[in-house]
Amino acid sequence: MAPIEKSDLLQGTLDMLILKVVALGPIHGYGTSVRIRQISKEVLQVQQGSLYPALHRLEKRGWLESDWGESEKGRQAKFYKLSAEGRRQLESEQLNWNRLAEAVASIMRMEPAR
């Protein structure tokens, strides 16, 4: 199965995925992309051109906080963590996502008329 590109994701889904990945523990930008790809079993691949603007947007909204640190490869990297407001936003996003997923699943379970 081919990877799903960002343009194929529902609007706002990337932000939710980033918040969820960052909630697992402090992580730098590239690590966020790698973790999304790994957890999704290579189905979701977020390109840098989409990832970094999203990280900056989430930080500007106050949902992420950041500090500079050293990556596994010894390079300076910006590490992100969830703020208290980001945690509340993630909870809200998860509730909305679960409602949407169940609604879509209900429609997809329908049998066509014969």
CATH number of 6-108: 1.10.10.10
- The phi, psi pair for 81, rounded to 5°, reads -140, 160
Grouped pLDDT means (10 residues each) for the chain, 114 residues: 54 89 95 94 89 95 95 89 97 93 93 85
pTM: 0.83
What pLDDT is recorded for position 7?
45
CA distance 55 to 35: 14
Domain ranges of the chain: 6-108
Report CA-CA distances (Å) from 67 to 51, 80, 81, 82.
17, 7, 9, 12
